[in-house]
Amino acid sequence: MTENKYSHLTAIERETISFPAKYLLKNELLKGDILDFGCGFGKDVEVLTKKGFSIKGFDPHYFPTYPQKKFDTIFCFYVLNVLFKESQEAVIMAISRLLKPKGRAYFAVRRDLKTVGFRKHYIHKKNTYQCLVNLPFKSIYLDEFCEIYEYRLYNQGKNNDNRCIFCNPYAKLTLLTESSFAYAILDGYPLSKGHSLIIPKIHEENYFNLSFEIQTHCWQMVNEVKNIITEKYNPDGFNIGFNVDKAGGQKVHHTHIHLIPRYLGDNQGKKHGIRCVIPPP
Give pLDDT tens digits for 107-136. 999 999 887 888 877 777 788 889 999 999
Query: Amino acid letter at 14?
Result: R
**Does residue 222 surpass a pLDDT of 60?**
yes
| 217 has catalytic annotation | no
Q: Given 121, 256, 258, 272, which residue is catalytic?
A: 256
HEC string of the chain equals: CCCCCCHHHHCCCCCCCCHHHHHHHHCCCCCCCEEEECCCCCHHHHHHHHCCCCEEEEECCCECCCCCCCEEEEEEECCHHHCCHHHHHHHHHHHHHHEEEEEEEEEEEECCCCCCEEEECCCCCCEEEECCCCCCCEEEEECCCEEEEEECCHHHCCCCCCCCCCCCCCCCCCEEEECCCEEEEECCCCCCCCCEEEEECCCCCCHHHCCHHHHHHHHHHHHHHHHHHHHHHCCCEEEEECCCCHHHCCCCCCCCEEEEEECCCCCCCCCCCHHHCCCCC
Per-residue model confidence as pLDDT tens digits over 12-40: 778 899 999 999 999 999 999 999 999 99
- Distance, CA of 192 to CA of 236 (rounded, Å): 12
In a domain, 162, yes or no: no
**Do 101 and 55 share a structural domain?**
yes
**Do 11 and 144 share a structural domain?**
yes
**Do 76 and 202 share a structural domain?**
no
**Do 133 and 32 share a structural domain?**
yes
- Distance, CA of 51 to CA of 229 (rounded, Å): 39
261 burial level (CB within 10 Å; 0-12, 13-18, 19+)? buried
Distances (CA, A) of 244 to 53, 190, 274: 50, 19, 15
In a domain, 265, yes or no: yes
- Mean pLDDT over 47-70 rounds to 96
What is the reported pLDDT for 8? 72
What is the reported pLDDT for 10? 73
Kind of pairing between the strands at 117-120 and 127-130: antiparallel
Question: How does residue 79 score in pLDDT terms, banded at 50, 70 and 90?
Answer: very high
What is the reported pLDDT for 280? 66
- Mean pLDDT over 210-225 rounds to 97
**Do 251 and 131 share a structural domain?**
no
What is the reported pLDDT for 125? 79
**Do 145 and 35 share a structural domain?**
yes
The region of weakest confidence among 127-131, 212-216, 227-231 is: 127-131
**Do 194 and 263 share a structural domain?**
yes
Residues in contact with 249: Cβ distance below 8 Å, sequence separation at least 6, in sequence order: 243
- Distance, CA of 119 to CA of 116 (rounded, Å): 9
Per-residue model confidence as pLDDT tens digits over 91-114: 999 999 999 999 999 999 999 988
- Mean pLDDT over 162-186 rounds to 95
**Do 211 and 245 share a structural domain?**
yes
In a domain, 94, yes or no: yes
In a domain, 157, yes or no: no
Q: What is the CATH number of the domain that holds 267?
A: 3.30.428.10
Q: What is the CATH number of the domain that holds 100?
A: 3.40.50.150
- Mean pLDDT over 254-279 rounds to 79
In a domain, 2, yes or no: no
In a domain, 167, yes or no: no
What is the reported pLDDT for 207? 97
**Does residue 1 surpass a pLDDT of 70?**
no
- Mean pLDDT over 41-56 rounds to 97
What is the reported pLDDT for 28? 98
Share of the chain above pLDDT 90, in %: 79
**Do 119 and 204 share a structural domain?**
no
Supply the range of the domain harboring residue 123. 7-152
**Do 147 and 179 share a structural domain?**
no
CB–CB of 55/13 below 8 Å? no
- Distance, CA of 219 to CA of 127 (rounded, Å): 30
Share of the chain above pLDDT 70, in %: 93
In a domain, 69, yes or no: yes
Question: How does residue 5 score in pLDDT terms, banded at 50, 70 and 90?
Answer: confident
What is the reported pLDDT for 276? 66
**Does residue 223 surpass a pLDDT of 60?**
yes
Question: How does residue 9 score in pLDDT terms, banded at 50, 70 and 90?
Answer: low
The total number of structural domains in the chain stands at: 2
**Does residue 178 surpass a pLDDT of 90?**
yes
Higher pLDDT, 272 or 104: 104
Sign of CA dihedral 117, 120, 2, 185: negative
- Distance, CA of 178 to CA of 94 (rounded, Å): 8
- Distance, CA of 222 to CA of 208 (rounded, Å): 17
